[in-house]
Structure 1
Amino acid sequence: MSWAEWFAGQRAAREAAGLQRVLRPRAAGDEAIDLANNDYLGLSGHPDVRRAAGEAALVWGAGAGASRLVTGTTTLHAELERELAGFTGRAAALVFSTGYHANLSVVTALADRDTVIVSDAHVHASLIDAARLSRAVIRVVPHNDVTAVRDALAAAGGRRALVLTESIFSVLGDAAPLAELAETCAAHAALLVVDEAHGLGVAGDGGRGLLHGLGLHDHPHVVMTATLSKSLGAMGGAVLGSAALIDHLVNRARPFIFDTGLAPAPAAGALAALRVLRGQPGLPSRIHERGAALADRLGVPRSAGAVLSVPMPSPRIALAAQARALAAGVRVGCFRPPSVPDGVSRLRITTHAGLDEMSWERAVGIVAAVAAEHRQLV
Structure 2
Amino acid sequence: MGDALRVGLVGVGRISGAYLSTLPRLPGLALTRIADIDVERARAAARQVPGAVAVMPGELYAADDVDLVLNLTIPKAHAQVALDAIAAGKHVYNEKPLSLGTSQARDLLAAAKHAGVRIGCAPDTVLGTGVQTARAALDAGEIGLPVAAAAFMTTPGHELWHPAPEFYYQPGGGPLLDMGPYYLTALVTLLGPVRRVIGMSAAAHETRFVGSGPRAGERFAVEVPTHVTGVLEHTGGALTTLMMSFDVWHARLPRIEVYGTEGSLSVPDPNGFAGTVRIARARQDAWSDLPERGGYQNAARGYGVADMARAIAGGTAHRAAGELAYHVLDVMESMLASAQAGLAVEITSSCARPAPVPLGVRPDEA
> What interval of TM-score do these two structures reach, taking the shorter chain for normalisation?
0.3 to 0.5
Give the structure-2-normalised TM-score: 0.33
| Higher fraction of helix | 1
Return the structure number with greater relative CO, CA threshold 8 A, min gap 6.
Answer: 1
Give the structure-1-normalised TM-score: 0.32
